[in-house]
Amino acid sequence: MSSDAKVALCDAVRAFVGREHGLFIDGALCLAHSPRRSNVFDPATGNVLTTVPDADATDVDRAVTSARAAFQSRVWRGLRPADRERILLRFADMLEAHAEELAQLETLNQGKSINVARAIDVGATLDVSIPFPPGARYTAFTRHEPVGVVAGIVPWNFPMMIAVWKLVPALAAGCSVVIKPSPETPLTALRLAELAIARVSQRAHSTW
């Protein structure tokens, strides 16, 4: 696809952007305690796409309290690692199934090329030594140690990819997670939560 080609938004993206957005706490979409809302913009046009809650200290406390209760209950960390692995692999399958929708939403909210969003943000796993800038070298390691509630603060530049980077290793280790997306680019994080909750609801009577 040429760089100047336009992509028609899929129906799922249009529907998601057009709905009323809240907070995801304790496994459900809920109203915020804070009455304030923040505009979310399309950087290509400067137009307002939608609004999202501007969470206050009460909202944050609710999220952390819920995550702490989930950790202490052992509902997640008490699972065998193999069971957590199966659930996270199904989560990965869900991301692949919605890849085009998520790539479009990322481009619409963040402003990057749709080809970058498709290839990197919702694409294949990359080696840590990514090929830019030229000659750059990186070292990374993972320490598998559940510590409780993990706060994942996600920047604006790769909002979905970095959210998943923070979310999945912590969940795999048995932690519970509170994700704080950038106020400029919160939409893919909200959609991820919505898709995950819908997946849980669909499998409520079987092993997710």
List domains and CATH numbers for the chain: 11-202 (3.40.605.10)
DSSP calls for 45-63 = T--EEEEEE---HHHHHHH
Q: Please give the C-alpha separations between residue 67 and each of 21, 28, 45, 138, in angstroms, as whole numbers.
A: 21, 13, 37, 32
**Structural contact between residues 121 and 104, judged by C-beta atoms closer than 8 angstroms:** no
Average pLDDT over residues 1-29: 85
Give the model's confidence band at 126: pLDDT under 50 very low, under 70 low, under 90 confident, else very high.
Answer: low
46 or 144, greater pLDDT: 46
Global model pTM greater than 0.75: yes
